[in-house]
């Protein structure tokens, strides 16, 4: 059995552990439709995901004609309401994600979620997918207060503390994730199958995986 020396492995949620692109696209389009804007395809929305719901909606509005803060705030509330009510219609873990989690559990490694999604929505999604119990901690974009979401190192530090300390690595799909890990001084793994805002090689991660089957061997190399 492959051995790794990490005590904690953290995961981003959207685009890393769970493919939420279908439900997020539906939520964005629900808000855009109310504003009389053209709807976006899943492929158009994917690069907008990663910085939280308002960041995603702002980009969607800018792509369809611009927006002012008052309209953005109104539509943001509408998006959140729709998304919360339809949070796990099409969202599922990426292929191999559950098997990788099982292997980490078998090795006594604690797994955690650190996301820029609001903590309440992250927990609701994980509850719907029966995954909450699988993670030692869940930290959302609002958990630590304003200005302390990824790429700030604060949520990574909080993850390590809440998991009891030890050597950690972080797995993500965006510059928010990789920069947060770098800022916290821990190794990072980028997922090429995630919601890419840029070519995966440009993220500057310590390693890249194309499928979750590669995660444990990759962590073994990073922990050597």
* Positions marked catalytic: 12
Contact (Cβ atoms closer than 8 angstroms) between residue 114 and residue 155: yes
3-state secondary structure of 92: strand
Cα–Cα distance for residue pair 45/138, rounded to 1 Å: 25
Cα–Cα distance for residue pair 59/104, rounded to 1 Å: 36
Kindly report the number of other CB atoms within 10 A of residue 85's CB atom. Answer: 11
Cα–Cα distance for residue pair 104/136, rounded to 1 Å: 12
Helix extents (H) in the chain:
21-34, 42-45, 53-63, 69-85, 97-106, 119-128, 154-162, 175-184, 215-223
What tokens appear for 68 in the block?
Answer: 């002012």
Q: Which residues touch 81 (CB under 8 Å, ≥6 apart)? A: none
Contact (Cβ atoms closer than 8 angstroms) between residue 166 and residue 8: yes
Which conformational region is residue 150 in: left (phi greater than 0), alpha (psi within -120 to 50 degrees), or beta?
beta
Q: Strand 207-209 vs strand 137-139: parallel, antiparallel, or unpaired?
A: unpaired
């Amino acid at each position: 059995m492959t051995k790794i020396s990490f005590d904690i492995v953290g995961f981003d949620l959207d685009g890393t552990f769970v493919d939420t692109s279908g439900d997020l696209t539906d939520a964005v389009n629900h808000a855009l439709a109310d504003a009389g804007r053209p709807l976006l395809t899943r492929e158009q929305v994917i690069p907008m995901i990663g910085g939280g719901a308002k960041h995603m909606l702002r980009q969607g509005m800018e792509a369809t004609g611009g927006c002012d803060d008052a309209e953005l705030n109104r539509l943001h509330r509408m998006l959140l309401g729709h998304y919360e009510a339809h949070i796990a219609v099409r969202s599922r873990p990426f292929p191999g994600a559950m098997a990788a989690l099982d292997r980490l559990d078998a090795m006594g490694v604690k797994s955690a979620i650190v996301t820029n999604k609001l903590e309440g929505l992250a927990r609701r999604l994980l509850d719907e997918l029966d995954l909450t119990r699988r993670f030692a901690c869940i930290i959302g974009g609002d958990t630590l207060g304003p200005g302390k979401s990824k790429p700030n190192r604060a949520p990574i530090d909080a993850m390590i503390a809440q998991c009891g300390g030890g050597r950690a690595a972080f797995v993500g799909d965006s510059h928010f994730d990789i920069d947060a890990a770098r800022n916290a001084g821990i190794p990072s793994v980028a997922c090429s199958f995630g919601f890419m805002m840029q070519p995966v090689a440009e993220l500057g991660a310590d390693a890249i995986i194309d499928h979750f089957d590669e995660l444990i061997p990759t962590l073994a190399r990073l922990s050597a």
